[in-house]
Structure 1
């Protein structure tokens, strides 16, 4: 069980780091909660899909997640460098879904691995969602503080974090 908790925390770290970037753009409390729940839901759905479909598509799907994170990161860096006073990346539901998919795609491959061990699969999947939701909410709060302290450069920092996560996903 300890291993599953550490695995859930590890999977939630992507969501945590990336949510700092999103939080730095200024997100309402309502969207913080609903976005965090959406990320948690994706962290439940993706391992279930992984369990169901096996390893055949895991490399293809992880590249999609990398591409999404890079695209969002580059847009944030551009916005920060141009110095707009209104964020370009207002978080619509479509963007929240893309974000949730991008940060939870690594849990798909973990789900493939979990498919071989049926004993604690459902506990693990629920813990993945729980930790991802909590860590996303904390990251969004930290991002809001970051915006207040470093201003428009927080978008550059946030975009760089997203690209860093994408690079780490490519290397792993």
Structure 2
């Protein structure tokens, strides 16, 4: 019974983190969608984002696991601090405005740059999660699924709504990561 409750708690934590990280893909997807995007480009872009949302936290988790073996109990504090910094940065970035230069999302380079920029937060969260004993397969699959789905939703929504919602989506994602960071420190 205790193991089932621990697994459910871990599942919910990973679910909320996956949604929070997907908010970044969602918000940036709105911006790209506002520029006009074909359905074929949405499929390609969201598939690559999903792949990056699997690979980046996986690399981060291995890095975090190594750090955990070196630092021991300090890793919980480091992970909480990292999530607080990451969440704060996402909130700050959401209020910066259009500071990101435009690029062509139809080229291979554009797809890779966009996918990397959306997924870099997943690496940082993966480092934090690597310091704990999390279910590796569940974590990376949920991050990939939600990263891909939220990017599809953002790209499609971007074709229909204003740019302001995307800024709020990134800020909400940052607030969730910030809250989890505070929970780790308490």
Deviations 1:23-72 (A, max 9, x none): 111111111011001111111110111122346xxx9xx8xxx9xx98x8
> What residue number does 1:75 align with?
101
**C-alpha distance 38-90 of structure 1, shift in aligned 2 (>3 A):** closer
| From 28, 37, 44, the counterpart of 2:47 | 37
> What residue number does 2:34 align with?
24
SS in 1 for 2:40: helix
Deviations 1:101-130 (A, max 9, x none): 111111111111221233412201110000
For residues 36 and 25 of structure 1, what CA distance do their matches in structure 2 show?
16
For residues 119 and 29 of structure 1, what CA distance do their matches in structure 2 show?
35
In structure 1, runs of 5+ residues without a counterpart are 77-87, 147-153
| Pairwise CA RMSD | 3.2
> What residue number does 2:20 align with?
10
SS in 1 for 2:58: helix
**TM-score, with normalisation over the residues of structure 2?**
0.62
SS in 1 for 2:35: coil
**TM-score, with normalisation over the residues of structure 1?**
0.67
Aligned residues between the structures: 138
**C-alpha distance 16-97 of structure 1, shift in aligned 2 (>3 A):** same
